[in-house]
C-alpha cells in the first residue's frame, strides 16, 4: 500500500485512505520565530498520529525554518477532519498566522 503525502497545496481537500495506509503531512515551519504547527486532536480509532518531527534542510543555518512532518496511520473506517494551526502557543489562537484542514475518509 502506498503512502499519501500532503502539503499546504492540499489545504481544504478531501483525502481517501485505506485501512492501514500511511498519510504524511509536510508543512513549512520556522519554529525559531515561536510559531509552530499544532498537533491535531483526532479520533484515534480512525486516524492516529504516529510521528511529529521538524526536518531541517541539510544546509540550514541558525534561525532557518524547515518542514514540520506529521505521519498518521489510518486505523478503521470513518471520517475525520484533520485541522492544524500555525501559532505561538503561549499567546493563544489569536496569534494564528496560517491554518490547514483536510477531511480524511478511511474506507
- Reported as a pLDDT band with limits 50, 70 and 90, residue 1 is confident
pLDDT greater than 90 at residue 74 = yes
Residue 31's pLDDT is what? 82
Domains, the chain, ordered by start: 4-106 (2.60.40.2020)
Cell numbers representing residue 15 in the block: 483525502
Residue 64's pLDDT is what? 72
Q: How far is CA 67 from CA 9, 16, 32, in A?
A: 14, 23, 12
Query: What would the DSSP string read from start to end of 10-37?
Result: GTT-EEEE-TT-EEEEEEEE-GGGT-EE
- Reported as a pLDDT band with limits 50, 70 and 90, residue 32 is confident
- Reported as a pLDDT band with limits 50, 70 and 90, residue 60 is low
Amino acid at each position: 500500500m502506498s503512502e499519501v503525502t500532503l502539503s499546504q497545496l492540499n489545504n481544504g481537500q478531501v483525502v481517501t485512505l485505506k485501512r492501514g495506509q500511511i498519510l504524511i503531512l509536510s508543512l513549512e515551519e520556522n519554529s525559531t520565530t515561536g510559531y509552530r504547527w499544532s498537533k491535531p486532536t483526532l479520533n484515534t480509532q480512525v486516524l492516529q498520529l504516529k510521528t511529529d518531527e521538524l526536518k531541517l534542510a541539510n544546509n540550514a543555518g541558525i534561525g532557518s525554518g524547515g518542514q514540520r512532518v506529521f505521519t498518521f496511520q489510518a486505523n478503521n473506517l470513518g471520517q475525520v477532519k484533520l485541522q492544524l494551526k500555525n501559532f505561538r502557543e503561549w499567546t493563544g489562537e489569536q496569534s494564528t498566522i496560517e491554518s490547514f484542514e483536510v477531511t480524511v475518509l478511511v474506507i
